[in-house]
Structure 1
């Protein structure tokens, strides 16, 4: 049988991407020079990325991307870039990420903006500022999308760029904002960069006026780079809990922005702010955040949401500001899949953690940096259920499914339902695999912890509960389990189907 895919084209373009990944490496390299740290991890990675990239480019000097090659290119790019991204960790040889499996886990978690980590509370503090900056930067690069960035800067990806961005972008639809796909990619990146700079400015301004003493210049940059991609990596071992309440409140609007469809901001900045407030998904998204936040606030302010009462937690019941702050912060962090923590929610009661587990399945908007299933899919599902109930009573009624002013065709609805079912089935199977693998080594893992570890990686959410809580890590899992979770992060970032298409025999030979 003859192959129907010219894999050399895909590999050649992957090589081009790897060449360009050397550019952001100069930021942590500069940090290393400033703080007198070793530059070797970044120099070695730059040399390797250039050598491999140039070598792969030679496989097909003038690639012409077809639809099948596009699927392979996107899938391989999101595998190859984290493989290169793990090299600084290996060369540095510091802490738990000095081993290949752990380094790959951390790198994949970074680029997919998952935020799950194998660095424990003590381990984070052992690493150099330059290595931690690279860790933060991987999330920022992956937030808007590596392929979107490449389409924005590489003319040869303009042809076929719409398909590539659609395969990479989170959600079931892609909106072309301008006549040229390259300009659309640039517009999205300009918005992303603008909000990142705004976040940095606010964080650092709070430090300058004395409201956030430890939010220095380095921390302001690091947290701006991990807020906007909904990543959650922090150079602080206790995440955002390490900062003042002013910073925690300041981070919240940027998490909300990061979970919003960036195309709506483009319309707003071009005089169509009504598109933002008339959008059904955005209204559902904001309403869901408010609803979950209100439930958690009620739990915390009454004390019913707390399982443990150490001194710092015991001050929350009866304190409406603290209860609302932590409740809303964690609602945003979980729904937008940011992965930050304003406190150790392992101290929360099981009913409260169950609400958070529910929030992990929601996700932000399509076209945002958020992961998981996405609000718009749940919106459409409830509309489909409502239609089915109405047609049972009125069998001749024709009831279209609308999202804002757009009528969805039945093929789109079928694809949406198929994705959601596939996501839930994969979650269930993966939970069992992780649970049984952990008990194979006689580790103590509860069902809630296994479920949270699975959705945390498949949904690119970040921390879970128990041993994978916000102040703990994924380090206790076996190498086999961690590699499987690397797979979950990879396919979760590409919304499963892009990778599964490449793994089917009919893609290659039919």
Structure 2
């Protein structure tokens, strides 16, 4: 394996990551806060990028190098992303002054998880610039750091197909144009357009008087974290801080974020039928409709007690259906925004939401989780196994959208799903035991939701991990495990574990 090629390319990526820090630097200048933090961060990251780039000035990326580069790129982005946090927290009592907390927040940002160690006091003590950097990390990680590099860097685009296959969310990569760099640009332009649309809608509501709290800063900040299904908010109350009009307006964008972005390319070309006939899209839309109806029924029957923030009182009301629709749209695709504290809802509603978190968004979307297409293939493979057991002479392939799914893909999906469940289960046990070790009592639902929320890049869990809670009380050991889970969850486990296996095999 040519490690120098991966590291050299990593340096190129860091140089351009430094460029994105000019956004919070601009905000810092506007508000006259933390200017030195981002000026120094830009200098440091740029210097590091040039230094690493010199290790290999003409990288040749093969399949193994692609896995290493993608895995290292996401890990390095998270580590570098801690620099503004550490500088801003230096010499203060800030939560982010602790390196583990800073890395947790940064990894959660870039992987669009949305789990946080920052409470209301911590959010209020930091500048607009630092919080916009926190939001921006999610926007950069949403469509993918590697996809962005392929779109703008010719030296990366040469090996773009291998890199995108390693990073892309879902079991397959759909090439939209003859050149992979053009495909990357198309995906990012669609993503960018939806982000601008969201910002315009939210700020428009503010100008029209329907959203007094949704000023331009908040509109941009939430635009950076809605389309990437991130869930970070500069407000401790999340979307519950804003009016009902904002919450209703956000729901369509939350749903869009979980759709395969390649389908929107077909819509732009006038091929609407491609989207409507897509099996995964129909399953995703059906899952949202059914789960919203079920949760609405649970809330109508009083499964959630009255709450101070965006509470649900039961009965057939506009608020009840809005809470149900928003929570499903937010949690099914792993966004993690909230309009009420569902951690205080009844057991039935919480267990149902836990089930919803397992579904995930579509392949090729910014959503996390297992992904709808994988569940479709798993269920179809189980049905085939049962059918062929009863009819041993019959040969029946797994079909999706009228096409036969390759058997290697079926095995790969089965392996991923098993790895996901095993890693999730073992991690939940570790988190439970580790919190007991430090004298903190954690319920089974809280331990399970902590593991699922991080490996599924969902963010909030239940109990103290609810949408208005945080992960600060965990030990450093548990936080480091959850940092690992967020990392492998965003890269869908296999690329990272494949690198570890490759290193292990080489040392035999």
TM-score range, shorter chain: over 0.9
| 1:135-214 correspondence runs (5 A) | 135-214=134-213
Are the aligned partners of 1:309 and 1:347 in contact in 2 as well (CA < 8 Å)?
no
Q: 2:380 aligns with which of 351, 364, 383?
A: 383
Tell me how far apart the structure 1 counterparts of residues 326 and 197 of structure 2 sit (CA, whole Å).
Answer: 19
Q: 1:395 aligns with which of 392, 396, 408?
A: 392
Tell me how far apart the structure 2 counterparts of residues 237 and 428 of structure 1 sit (CA, whole Å).
Answer: 30
The Cα offsets for residues 383-431 of structure 1, whole Å up to 9 and x where unpaired, read as 1121122222222122221111221011110110010001000011000
Are the aligned partners of 1:116 and 1:462 in contact in 2 as well (CA < 8 Å)?
yes
SS in 2 for 1:420: helix
1:266 counterpart = 2:265: yes
**Aligned equivalent of 1:366:** 363
Tell me how far apart the structure 2 counterparts of residues 232 and 313 of structure 1 sit (CA, whole Å).
Answer: 17
1:326 counterpart = 2:361: no
SS in 2 for 1:104: helix
SS in 1 for 2:399: strand
1:490 counterpart = 2:483: no
1:414 counterpart = 2:448: no
In the TM superposition, residue 281 of structure 1 has moved relative to its aligned partner by 0.4
| 1:106-121 correspondence runs (5 A) | 106-121=105-120
> CA 1:206/1:439 → structure 2, altered by over 3 Å: closer, same or farther?
same
Could you list the structure 1 runs, at least 4 aligned residues long, displaced by more than 6 angstroms after superposition: none
**Aligned equivalent of 1:68:** 64
**Aligned equivalent of 2:455:** 458
Tell me how far apart the structure 2 counterparts of residues 428 and 376 of structure 1 sit (CA, whole Å).
Answer: 22
1:430 counterpart = 2:432: no
SS in 1 for 2:404: strand
The Cα offsets for residues 306-328 of structure 1, whole Å up to 9 and x where unpaired, read as 1x434666663124311111111
SS in 2 for 1:503: helix
Q: 1:89 aligns with which of 79, 85, 89?
A: 85
> CA 1:314/1:188 → structure 2, altered by over 3 Å: closer, same or farther?
closer
In the TM superposition, residue 451 of structure 1 has moved relative to its aligned partner by 0.4
Are the aligned partners of 1:259 and 1:368 in contact in 2 as well (CA < 8 Å)?
yes
In the TM superposition, residue 271 of structure 1 has moved relative to its aligned partner by 1.4
The Cα offsets for residues 287-324 of structure 1, whole Å up to 9 and x where unpaired, read as 11111111110111121x11x43466666312431111
**Aligned equivalent of 2:241:** 242
In the TM superposition, residue 507 of structure 1 has moved relative to its aligned partner by 5.6
Are the aligned partners of 1:501 and 1:507 in contact in 2 as well (CA < 8 Å)?
no
> CA 1:313/1:108 → structure 2, altered by over 3 Å: closer, same or farther?
closer
1:357 counterpart = 2:354: yes
Tell me how far apart the structure 2 counterparts of residues 435 and 429 of structure 1 sit (CA, whole Å).
Answer: 10
> CA 1:424/1:315 → structure 2, altered by over 3 Å: closer, same or farther?
closer
In the TM superposition, residue 382 of structure 1 has moved relative to its aligned partner by 1.3
SS in 1 for 2:19: coil
| 1:13-28 correspondence runs (5 A) | 13-28=9-24
SS in 1 for 2:231: coil
Tell me how far apart the structure 1 counterparts of residues 135 and 110 of structure 2 sit (CA, whole Å).
Answer: 9
Are the aligned partners of 1:121 and 1:472 in contact in 2 as well (CA < 8 Å)?
no
Tell me how far apart the structure 1 counterparts of residues 63 and 230 of structure 2 sit (CA, whole Å).
Answer: 30
Are the aligned partners of 1:19 and 1:50 in contact in 2 as well (CA < 8 Å)?
yes
**Aligned equivalent of 1:346:** 343
Tell me how far apart the structure 2 counterparts of residues 484 and 393 of structure 1 sit (CA, whole Å).
Answer: 44
> CA 1:315/1:21 → structure 2, altered by over 3 Å: closer, same or farther?
closer
**Aligned equivalent of 1:51:** 47
In the TM superposition, residue 65 of structure 1 has moved relative to its aligned partner by 1.0
In the TM superposition, residue 359 of structure 1 has moved relative to its aligned partner by 1.0
TM-score of the aligned structures, taking structure 2 as reference length: 0.97
Tell me how far apart the structure 1 counterparts of residues 260 and 154 of structure 2 sit (CA, whole Å).
Answer: 25
SS in 2 for 1:21: helix
SS in 1 for 2:18: coil
In the TM superposition, residue 508 of structure 1 has moved relative to its aligned partner by 3.8
SS in 2 for 1:343: coil
In the TM superposition, residue 363 of structure 1 has moved relative to its aligned partner by 0.3
Q: Quote the RMSD (CA, aligned, Å).
A: 1.3
In the TM superposition, residue 130 of structure 1 has moved relative to its aligned partner by 0.5
Are the aligned partners of 2:240 and 2:310 in contact in 1 as well (CA < 8 Å)?
no
TM-score of the aligned structures, taking structure 1 as reference length: 0.97
In the TM superposition, residue 358 of structure 1 has moved relative to its aligned partner by 0.8
**Aligned equivalent of 1:337:** 334
Tell me how far apart the structure 1 counterparts of residues 373 and 6 of structure 2 sit (CA, whole Å).
Answer: 32
